């Protein structure tokens, strides 16, 4: 069998087999193979948006589920996200050219007083993996940087992260400032971080608390879809 595996040639697979193989290659964090797979699908006439959603986002959804379920851990997810990034680098200019719909845009940052960033970085990577455009504000963000980024970037989602029990209340300060300026309803607000829970997310007026990066992606997709439906209906 090992000879067989060595001989696997991506360009000889049909579309369906190739996409399945790409799911596995994403899962295994194989960047070169993902880049090759993306190029082949484009050559076969797939629209860039279809490559993104069916091959890459589809594969990263499996990675996200297995991360959520405790089958994959951070190192594997980082490698998968890195492979996805390789594919995205090819697709990004083409997506812009073809005016393909965007999946969504997120501004994310760790709140003022908090300098922890592994969790926030993971969410950013998984969101990118899911096809979102992510603007990362980094660590230690005061209210103003969230508001300025919101005005400048017009994201769908504002994400806040806190790892300290002492900084999590600052999330409410940001949300209250948004309410005061009358812009709270313009954005979905997602919060996350080790000491948080759903109850806290509700208490401070966030749209959702996300337990981990995989949940953040799923929640973002669900809430954006819901908002689109509401707007369509309204």
Partner 1 sequence: MTDALTELLSTRDWLMADGATGTNLFNMGLASGDAPEFWNETHPDRIRKLYRDAVEAGSDLFLTNSFGANAARLKLHDAAGRARDLSRIAAELGREVADAAGRKVVVAGSVGPTGEIMGAAGTLGHAEAVEIFEETAAGLKEGGADVLWVETISAPEEFHAAAEAFANQNMPWCGTMSFDTAGRTMMGLTSEGFVKLVEALPNPPIAFGANCGVGASDLMRTVLSFAATGTERPIIAKGNAGIPRYEDGHIHYNGTPELMADYAVLARDAGARIIGGCCGTMPEHLRAMRAALETRPKGPRPTLETVAQALGGFSSESDGTGDSGSAPRRERRGRRRG
Give the closest residue to 81 by CA, choosing from 56, 103, 104, 101: 56
Would you count residue 140 as binding partner 1 (CB under 8 A)? yes
Q: Which stretch binds partner 1 (CB under 8 A): 78-86, 181-189, 215-223, 225-233?
A: 78-86
Strand runs labelled E in 111-176:
133-136, 157-161
Cβ-Cβ contacts under 8 Å for 99 (sequence gap 6 or more):
none
For residues 117 and 184, give the distance between their C-alpha atoms in angstroms, rounded to a whole number.
25
The stretch among 35-43, 65-73, 87-95, 100-108 that binds partner 1 (CB under 8 A) is 65-73
* CA gap 220, 104 in Å, rounded: 9
CA distance 146 to 159: 9
- DSSP class of residue 10? G
**Does 179 sit near partner 1 (CB under 8 A)?**
no
User: Interface with partner 1 includes 143 (CB under 8 A)?
Assistant: no
Is 23 a binding residue for partner 1 by CB under 8 A? The answer is yes
Residue 201, CA distances (Å) to 68, 103, 156, 191 in order: 19, 24, 18, 7
Q: Does 93 bind partner 1 (CB under 8 A)?
A: no
Q: Is residue 176 within the footprint of partner 1 (CB under 8 A)?
A: no
Q: What six digits make up the tokens of 190? A: 């997602």
Q: Check residue 113 for interaction with partner 1 (CB under 8 A).
A: yes
Task: Select the span of 34-42, 145-153, 162-170, 213-221 touching partner 1 (CB under 8 A).
Answer: 162-170
Candidates 93-101, 106-114, 129-137, 218-226; binding stretch for partner 1 (CB under 8 A)? 106-114
Q: Is 36 in the site for partner 1 (CB under 8 A)?
A: no
Binding letters toward partner 1, positions 197-216, x by CB under 8 A? x-xx--x-------------
Given a contact cutoff of 8 angstroms between Cβ atoms, the answer to whether 170 and 146 are in contact is no
Number of residues that bind partner 1 (CB under 8 A): 50
State the minimum distance, in angstroms, from the CB of residue 123 to partner 1.
Answer: 14
Q: How far is the CB of 185 from partner 1 (least distance, A)?
A: 24
Nearest to 174 by CA among 152, 139, 208, 142: 142
Closest approach, Cβ 215 to partner 1, in A, equals: 13
User: Which residue in the set 169, 176, 177, 184 belongs to the binding site for partner 1 (CB under 8 A)?
Assistant: 169
Q: Name the strands in the sheet holding 157-161, side by side, starting at the edge strand that comes first in the sequence.
A: 133-136, 105-110, 157-161, 188-192, 208-210
Tell me which residues touch partner 1 (CB under 8 A).
4-6, 8, 20-21, 23-25, 27-30, 33, 62, 66, 69-76, 78-79, 82, 112-118, 139-140, 164-170, 194-197, 199-200, 203
């Amino acid at each position: 069998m090992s000879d067989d595996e060595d001989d696997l040639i991506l360009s000889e697979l049909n579309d369906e087999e190739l996409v399945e193989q790409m799911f596995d290659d994403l899962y295994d964090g194989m960047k070169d193979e993902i880049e090759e797979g993306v190029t082949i699908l484009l050559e076969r006439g797939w629209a860039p948006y279809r490559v993104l959603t069916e091959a890459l986002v589809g594969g990263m959804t499996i990675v996200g589920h297995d991360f959520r379920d405790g089958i994959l851990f951070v190192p594997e997810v980082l490698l998968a996200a890195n492979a996805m990034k390789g594919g995205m680098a090819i697709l990004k200019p083409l997506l812009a050219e073809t005016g393909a719909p965007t999946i969504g845009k997120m501004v994310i940052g760790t709140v003022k007083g908090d300098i922890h960033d592994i969790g926030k970085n993971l969410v950013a990577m998984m969101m990118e993996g899911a096809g979102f455009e992510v603007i990362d504000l980094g660590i230690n963000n005061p209210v103003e940087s969230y508001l300025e980024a919101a005005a400048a970037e017009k994201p769908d989602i504002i994400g806040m992260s806190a790892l300290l029990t002492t900084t999590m209340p600052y999330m409410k300060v940001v949300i209250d400032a948004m309410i005061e300026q009358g812009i709270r309803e313009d954005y979905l607000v997602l919060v996350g971080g080790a000491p948080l829970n759903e109850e806290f997310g509700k208490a401070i007026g966030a749209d959702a608390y996300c337990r981990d990066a995989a949940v953040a992606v799923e929640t973002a997709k669900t809430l954006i879809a819901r908002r689109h439906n509401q707007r369509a209906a309204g």
